């Protein structure tokens, strides 16, 4: 079809910083084209200090819905009217749905991640996960993995000012899901090695290794990476982080964050439009490695 912006085009988009590398605009706009929907999806570089004014402006001009990426997934919460259970448990929002002027925060990151594990050919239900990071994406993954039936999760983060809040989060999710979640210090390499040794999957949900700092890895000792360990990195720029290169050299099955992005985006797309994203077509066009 001949796709044009009209006076009735509905605006959706992505807020975060940086966002220039994101393939979300291509993915959503192609899906709109394929389904003949009069929507457009744009990327807006917004930092935390400008988030409130950005939200006020977008709400005033009638944006239809939007996504949040780093570093805004937690900063957005006080600016919203409601949270869905997934967003409340994760204490992070990556998708905002707007109904009658009410801003509803949701989280599709965990769903997207667990779909990406299946897409990569793995079954981690009933098995242990080592999860690096405790930001918005990490908490969403932790919640969904626990809900889906992962047997245990060790969450590693820096021992900084947010440690106690993260400890409270881990206890809450353990109580609500029955999945034991331990918080551990990411600087403790012995604890990390011990955790990885009996985990089925190692998941990097930190920004370590993301462009432009592509020469960094959250794993300093590659001997931790045994051949039957699944290694995943939610980063997709670069497509192969240093961690994934280490995994490849160690003979580990591994995958990046591209399909997590695809499946979390597909869920947001359905919330906004009421239609299913043509996933196979989008995957073929934008996500083949």
Whether 73 is a known active-site residue: answer yes
Reading phi first (left if > 0) and then psi (alpha if -120 to 50, else beta), residue 148 is in alpha
Structure-block tokens of residue 27 = 């993915």
**Looking at 10, 59, 73, 248, which residue is catalytic?**
73
C-alpha atoms less than 13 angstroms from C-alpha of 125 in its C-beta half-sphere: 9
pLDDT at residue 115 tops 50: yes
CA-CA distance, 201 to 121, in Å (whole number)? 13
Q: Does domain 110-256 have CATH number 3.40.50.720?
A: yes
CB 258 within 8 A of CB 236: yes
- Same fold across 10-107+260-287 and 110-256: yes
Tell me the pLDDT tens digit for each residue of 227-258. Answer: 999 999 999 889 999 999 999 999 999 999 99
Domain assignments of the chain as residue spans, ordered by start: 10-107+260-287, 110-256
CA-CA distance, 199 to 258, in Å (whole number)? 23
pLDDT at residue 173 tops 80: yes
CA-CA distance, 119 to 115, in Å (whole number)? 6
State the CATH architecture for 10-107+260-287: 3-Layer(aba) Sandwich (3.40)
CA-CA distance, 267 to 260, in Å (whole number)? 11
CA-CA distance, 228 to 241, in Å (whole number)? 19
H or E element in which residue 281 lies: helix 279-282
> pTM score, two decimals?
0.89
CA-CA distance, 189 to 183, in Å (whole number)? 14
């Amino acid at each position: 079809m001949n796709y044009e912006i009209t006076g009735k085009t509905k605006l959706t988009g992505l807020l975060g910083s940086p966002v220039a590398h994101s393939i979300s605009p291509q993915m959503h706009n192609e899906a709109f084209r394929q389904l003949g929907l009069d929507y457009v999806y744009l990327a807006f570089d917004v930092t935390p200090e400008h988030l409130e004014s950005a939200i006020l402006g977008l709400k005033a001009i009638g944006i239809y819905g939007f996504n949040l990426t780093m570093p805004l997934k937690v900063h957005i919460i006080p600016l919203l009217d409601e949270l869905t259970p997934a967003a409340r448990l994760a204490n992070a929002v990556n998708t905002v749905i707007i109904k009658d002027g009410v801003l509803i925060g949701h989280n599709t990151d965990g769903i997207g991640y667990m779909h990406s594990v299946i897409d990569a050919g793995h079954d981690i239900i009933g098995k242990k996960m080592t999860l690096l990071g405790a930001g918005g994406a990490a908490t969403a993954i932790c919640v969904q993995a626990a809900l889906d039936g992962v047997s245990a999760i060790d969450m590693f983060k820096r021992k900084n000012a947010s440690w106690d809040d993260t400890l409270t989060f881990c206890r809450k999710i353990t109580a609500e899901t029955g999945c034991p979640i331990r918080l551990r210090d990411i600087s403790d390499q012995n604890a990390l090695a011990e955790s990885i040794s009996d985990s089925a999957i190692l998941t990097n949900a930190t920004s370590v290794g993301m462009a432009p700092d592509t020469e960094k890895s959250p794993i300093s000792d590659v001997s931790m990476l045994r051949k039957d360990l699944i290694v995943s990195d939610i980063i997709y720029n670069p497509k192969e982080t240093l961690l994934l290169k280490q995994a490849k050299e160690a003979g580990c099955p591994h995958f990046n964050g591209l399909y997590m992005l695809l499946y979390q985006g597909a869920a947001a797309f359905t919330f906004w439009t009421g239609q299913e994203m043509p996933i196979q077509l989008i995957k073929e066009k934008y996500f083949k490695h």
